[in-house]
Amino acid sequence: MSQEGVDLETSLGYLLKEASSALRAAMEEVLRPLGMSVTHYACLELLAQRPGLSNSELARGAFVTRQTMNVLLQALERDGYVTRPAEAAVGKVLPTRLTARGRRSLEKASAAVRSVEARMLASLTETDQSAAFRILQSMVHSLRGDNE
Amino acid sequence: MSQEGVDLETSLGYLLKEASSALRAAMEEVLRPLGMSVTHYACLELLAQRPGLSNSELARGAFVTRQTMNVLLQALERDGYVTRPAEAAVGKVLPTRLTARGRRSLEKASAAVRSVEARMLASLTETDQSAAFRILQSMVHSLRGDNE
DNA sequence: TGACTCATGTCAGTATCCTGACATAGGTTC
DNA sequence: GAACCTATGTCAGGATACTGACATGAGTCA
C-alpha cells in the first residue's frame, strides 16, 4: 500500500492537536478552582491588554463565534466583571471594558495561567522557543491561505 | 508594572491555540462536504490504523471523553460504518472494527485531510518539520507532568 | 440619492462535548 | 477468599459552542 492514510504517529497535525489539548487541559485544571473557563479567561485577558474591544473582536481573539462571545459578555456584564455602554457612540460597536472587579478576578487567573505556560517553556531552550514561534506562525499563515 | 499578565502577542500558548484552531477550521472545511466532523474522522482514522481499538482507547486517541466517543460509536454502528461484538470476549472491552462501508467513507476524508496537512507542511523546511515535531512532543510531556 | 456590500449585535434552535453517577470486570495486596 | 484500586461501558443531565437568521449601521460605487 502506497496510500496508507495519515499516519497518526508521525503526523504534525495530530501532534499539534495533542499539544493544544494538553495545554487546554492544564489551563482548565488551574482555572477550575477559580470558577473560570478558558474562554472566560481569554476574554478578560484580551480586555486587560486591549481595553475597549468590541464583541466581535473579542470573539476573534478568543477563537469562538460572535454569538458565543455575546452570551459570555452578557453574563460577565450581569456579574459586574465588565461594562458596556447601553448605546453605541458610533455604529453598532459596543466597546467593552473591565471593571475593578474584573481586573481583580483576572489577576489570580493570569498568575495561574502564567505558571502553566512557564512549565511548558521550561522544557524548551531559548532557541527552541524562537523556532517554535516562527514555525507556528508559518503554520497559521499557510492554513489560512494568507500567502495565496 | 512588572506584572503585566500574559502578553498574547508573544505567548507561545496563545500561538499554539491559534495554530490548532486554524488547523481545526481547515479540517472542518474540507470534511463538511463529506458530512463528517473532525472527531468522526479521527475515530475512523484511528480504527483504520489500529483495528480492534476499544471505546476508551478511541476516546483517548481522539482527545474526547469515553462518553462522547460512546455516543459517536453508537451512531457509527447504527449507520454501518463500524461493528462491535454484542458481548465482550474478555472483560468489558468491546473491540471495534471498520466495515467495508466505513473504509470507503474514510478514503475520501483521509485524502481531504492529507491535502490540508500537506498545505501546512509545504510552508516548512524539512529541518523545521523535525524541529516542530521534537518541540511539540516536549511541550506535551511537560504539560502532562511526565518528567516529574 | 440609491443600490450594493460588508460587519456588527443579537435572538433562537441545535449540535457537540462535558461532568456525575452506576454497575461491573480484572488486577493487586493482604 | 476479601478488600482494594483501577479501568471499562453506559445512562442521564447540563454546559458550552455552533449554525441560521434578522435588523441595522458604515462604507463603496455608480
Q: Is B69 within the bounds of a domain?
A: yes
CATH at residue B61: 1.10.10.10
Q: Is A1 within the bounds of a domain?
A: no
The tens digit of pLDDT for each residue in B4-14 reads: 556 777 899 99
Provide the number of structural domains found in chain B: 1
Q: Does residue B67 approach strand D to less than 7 Å at its CB?
A: yes
B147–A123 C-beta distance less than 8 A: yes
Q: Is B7 within the bounds of a domain?
A: no
Determine the residue of chain A that is closest to B17 in CA distance.
Answer: A20
Q: Is B88 within the bounds of a domain?
A: yes
Smallest Cα distance from B107 to chain A, Å: 8
The tens digit of pLDDT for each residue in A2-16 reads: 344 567 778 999 999
**What is the domain range of residue B19?**
12-114
pLDDT at residue number B35: 87
DSSP, collapsed to helix, strand or coil, labels residue A83 as strand
User: How large is the average pLDDT for residues A125-138?
Assistant: 96
Q: Is B126 within the bounds of a domain?
A: no
* Residue among A24, A37, A56 nearest B20 (CA): A24
Q: Is A7 within the bounds of a domain?
A: no
The tens digit of pLDDT for each residue in A24-65 reads: 999 999 999 898 999 999 999 999 999 999 999 999 999 999
User: How large is the average pLDDT for residues B109-124?
Assistant: 94
> Contact at 8 Å (CB) between B98 and B109?
no
Q: Does residue B68 approach strand C to less than 7 Å at its CB?
A: yes
- Helix then strand then coil, in percent of chain A rounded to 5, is 65, 5, 30
* Residues 23-52, chain B, CB closer than 7 Å to nucleic strand D: 28
The tens digit of pLDDT for each residue in B53-91 reads: 999 999 999 999 999 999 999 999 999 999 999 877 778
Q: Is B54 within the bounds of a domain?
A: yes
Per the structure block, which three cell numbers stand in for A43?
A: 476574554
Indicate the length of chain A as a whole number.
148
Query: What is the Cα–Cα distance from A41 to A25, expressed in whole angstroms?
Result: 14
Interface pTM, i.e. ipTM: 0.91
Cα atoms in the 13 Å half-sphere on the side-chain side of B134: 13
pLDDT at residue number B86: 84
Which residue's CA is nearest to the C1' of nucleotide C12?
A67
**Phi, psi for A97 (deg, rounded to 5):** -135, 150
Please report, as a single letter, which amino acid is at residue B59: A
Q: Is A2 within the bounds of a domain?
A: no
